[in-house]
Amino acid sequence: MAYDECCEPAHQGHSPATAEALMRSRYSAFALDDDAYVLSSWHPDTRPARVEPDSHLKWMGLDILETVGGGMFDAEGVVEFRAHYKDHGKRGDMVERSRFVRHDGQWVYWGPILTNGSLANI
């Protein structure tokens, strides 16, 4: 899906309709170094004070592995993804299972779900 179809509207202030759409817009924001969007789409109870950019890291692609809930009428959702990157020219992947919740009617990122199934940031 092209940036102008999936993520640009969210970066311009339109709220993503699903948790997966928010995940895609957050990935694009990381790739574009749009720290303001990354922070604004993070739940205020778990949001860090700032995001530390890594100038050596280049995001190369995103695969959505699984989505549970997170639809237009859900209150919570889980999105598991694999993000591809280059760090100092070396390719790598990261996998995260993320929790998303509604806050003031908008989807926001809560945080990662740890491998034992517990939620981080509780």
**Residue 101 falls inside a structural domain:** yes
Residues 13-50 have pLDDT tens digits of 999 999 999 999 999 999 999 999 999 999 999 999 99
User: What's 16's DSSP letter?
Assistant: P
> Measured between alpha carbons, how far is 67 from 80 in angstroms, rounded to an integer?
6
What band does 5 get if pLDDT is binned at 50, 70 and 90?
confident
| Residues of the domain holding 79 | 3-44+56-112
Q: Give the CATH number for residue 83.
A: 3.10.450.50
Q: How far apart are CA 75 and CA 116, in angstroms?
A: 23
Query: Is residue 16 in a domain?
Result: yes
Instruction: Examine residue 88 and state whether it is found in any structural domain, yes or no.
Output: yes
Instruction: Give pLDDT tens digits for 41-51.
Output: 999 999 999 99
C-beta separation of 26 from 10 below 8 A: no
pLDDT band at 117 (very low <50, low <70, confident <90, very high): low
Residue 122 lies inside a defined structural domain of this protein: no
Task: Please count the structural domains in the chain.
Answer: 1
Residues 24, 65: Cα–Cα separation, whole Å? 12
CA atoms within 13 Å, Cβ hemisphere of 51: 19
Is residue 49 domain-resident? Answer: no
Give CA–CA dist 114/34, Å, rounded: 26
Calpha distance 6→42 (Å, rounded): 18
With respect to residue 96, please indicate whether it lies within any of the assigned structural domains. Answer: yes
* Cα(113)–Cα(96) distance, integer angstroms: 8
- Is 117 contained in some domain? no
Question: Is 98 within the bounds of a domain?
Answer: yes
Is residue 77 within 8 Å of residue 70, measured between CB atoms?
A: yes
